[in-house]
Structure 1
Amino acid sequence: MRLIRRLLVMFAATSVFCLSGAGMAAAAPLPGVDALLAQVKSLGDLGGVLTPVTDVLDAALRAGG
């Protein structure tokens, strides 16, 4: 479960890095569980291919992973 949380944090940091430029990623705070759940939901909305992955991520975050 810790690995999943780390992957989500890395995903969030990468998203911030890509959207805001190279210098902003280091200054961005780590997102909380609510923000990560929102990102998981966004991924789930993309289609059925990611549904099993987003289900696992959602369950891990809600369990306090």
Structure 2
Amino acid sequence: MTHILLKQIEDISKDKNENKENSSIAKYLFKHFKEIDKISITKIARECKISPTKVTRFAEKLG
């Protein structure tokens, strides 16, 4: 399961057709994957300079 999630995040981070916000979230999560279960939506949003709603939508996209 972890490998699948990591692969999904990596694919989004490298996808040239992905929007800027999703790409930013994916790059952040890929870089901080070992702490992913401890990082809040608010922290991700703040670090990526986007709204928490966009982070929630990103999570929904992952499933």
TM-score of the pair, normalised by structure 2: 0.39
More helix by share: 2
* Higher relative contact order, structure no. (Cα contacts within 8 Å, ≥ 6 residues apart): 1
Larger Cα-atom Rg: 1
TM-score of the pair, normalised by structure 1: 0.38
